[in-house]
Amino acid sequence: DQQVKQNSPSLSVQEGRISILNCDYTNSMFDYFLWYKKYPAEGPTFLISISSIKDKNEDGRFTVFLNKSAKHLSLHIVPSQPGDSAVYFCAASEMGPGNQFYFGTGTSLTVIP
């Protein structure tokens, strides 16, 4: 059973507007969450992370929000740029070097110039 879910397979946004990508998880033991970005024919690259002791983490145009009670996290991209067009995966794990990452199915973001 999928422990990390991304229910929107795709999203289109106008350049300059906000992109909001959503992710839900079922395992209450998860305490570390990440977003990865993937371009075609490349491996995923790390974008931003958040631990469960925070509810928000910001890095430039990218902000991740965590709602532990709802088991929900979201990635906000403001402003969106055409170069942001990619597939975005969220991932979750229990903190610790030996613990597995569980990935969502990905959301394909298209930023329209």
Partner 1 sequence: NAGVTQTPKFQVLKTGQSMTLQCAQDMNHEYMSWYRQDPGMGLRLIHYSVGAGITDQGEVPNGYNVSRSTTEDFPLRLLSAAPSQTSVYFCASRGGKETQYFGPGTRLLVL
Could you say which of 20, 22, 32, 68 contacts partner 1 (CB under 8 A)? 32
CA–CA gap between residue 90 and residue 30 (Å, rounded): 13
Fill in the per-residue mask, 10 to 29: x = in contact with partner 1 (CB under 8 A), - = not in contact. --------------------
Could you say which of 14, 26, 67, 100 contacts partner 1 (CB under 8 A)? 100
Joined together, the tokens standing for residue 64 give: 């991740």
Q: Least distance from C-beta 18 to partner 1, angstroms? A: 24
CA–CA gap between residue 72 and residue 8 (Å, rounded): 14
Distance from chain centroid for Cα 52:
15
CA–CA gap between residue 14 and residue 52 (Å, rounded): 31
Could you say which of 53, 78, 95, 112 contacts partner 1 (CB under 8 A)? 95
Could you say which of 28, 43, 60, 69 contacts partner 1 (CB under 8 A)? 43
